[in-house]
Amino acid sequence: MEISRETKAAVRPALWGAAVGAVALAIVGFSWGGWMTGSAAETLATNRAATAVVAALTPICVDKFRQAADASANLTEMKKTTYSWDQSKFVEKGGWATMPGSTEPNSAVAMACAQSLGREKAADLHG
């Protein structure tokens, strides 16, 4: 069966319209529709999971710091360092950011723990 010239001429605008519509749909979907590629979704999920882990473990780190016999002195010593990186290293070296079942401190937890502790006063700690 042969397609006539008139049929081809009538179908061509429809095919172009479908192609342009598909491209427009993809642009709108990825820009404003919340669509994402599999790798972008994986990255987003990994970042959210890491954030949730830090949020869950930070109170444990703070509590371990507070329960230390010399908590007030430790807080004073930690606050002597002016940079947050140095404060998080202090928390790591003290072992407060090393969670049960782990042999290494979690640096993200140490940073969040130091930030949380930085808002406290030494007199507020029991130790």
Question: 16 and 50 in one domain?
Answer: no
Instruction: For residue range 2-48, list pLDDT tens digits in order.
Output: 777 777 778 888 888 999 999 999 888 888 888 888 898 899 999 99
Q: pTM for the complete prediction?
A: 0.69
Instruction: For residue range 74-96, list pLDDT tens digits in order.
Output: 999 999 988 999 999 999 999 99
Question: 85 and 26 in one domain?
Answer: no
Number of domains in the chain: 2
AA letter at 8: K
pLDDT category at 126 given cuts 50, 70, 90 is: low
- What pLDDT score was predicted for residue 124? 65
pLDDT category at 122 given cuts 50, 70, 90 is: low
The DSSP annotation for 74-92 comes to HHHHHHHS-SHHHHHHHHH
Expressed as residue numbers, the domain containing 10 is: 1-35
Question: 96 and 59 in one domain?
Answer: yes
d(CA 92, CA 35): 39
Average pLDDT rounded to a whole number, residues 41-62: 95
Question: 60 and 90 in one domain?
Answer: yes
d(CA 79, CA 65): 14
pLDDT category at 1 given cuts 50, 70, 90 is: low
Q: What is the C-alpha R_g of the chain?
A: 29
